[in-house]
């Protein structure tokens, strides 16, 4: 291991919320944290970079998720008066 990263640096590296990182970690889909002391945890920086590289390599060319139905969108008139 070349470097240990803390929570702040992890949040800067990985553009996910803290709860999403915790959920992925619990499911075994994110690198596990380890404890330096009783109150301080860290992640292996090399493992995080490898995880990001794998996600990028396996990323689809286009968004394949669920998109909101446009026909249900409600448009409200915008008033032009100040």
Q: Which residue has the higher pLDDT, 33 or 63?
A: 33
How many angstroms separate the CA atoms of 39 and 34, rounded?
A: 11
pLDDT at residue 67 in the model = 82
pLDDT at residue 56 in the model = 94
Joined tokens for residue 21: 């990182």
Asked whether the predicted pLDDT for residue 1 surpasses 90, the reply is: no
Q: Which residue has the higher pLDDT, 29 or 69?
A: 29
**Considering only 19-33, 39-53, 57-71, which range has the smallest mean pLDDT?**
57-71
Alpha-carbon dihedral angle through residues 34, 39, 40, 44, given to the nearest 10 degrees: 10
């Amino acid at each position: 291991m070349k470097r240990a990263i803390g929570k702040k640096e992890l949040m800067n590296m990985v553009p996910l919320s803290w709860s999403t990182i915790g959920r992925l970690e619990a499911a075994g889909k994110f690198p596990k944290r380890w404890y330096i002391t009783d109150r301080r945890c860290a992640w292996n920086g090399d493992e995080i970079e490898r995880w990001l590289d794998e996600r990028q390599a396996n990323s689809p060319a286009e968004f394949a998720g669920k998109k909101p139905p446009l026909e249900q969108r409600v448009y409200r008139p915008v008033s032009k008066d100040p």
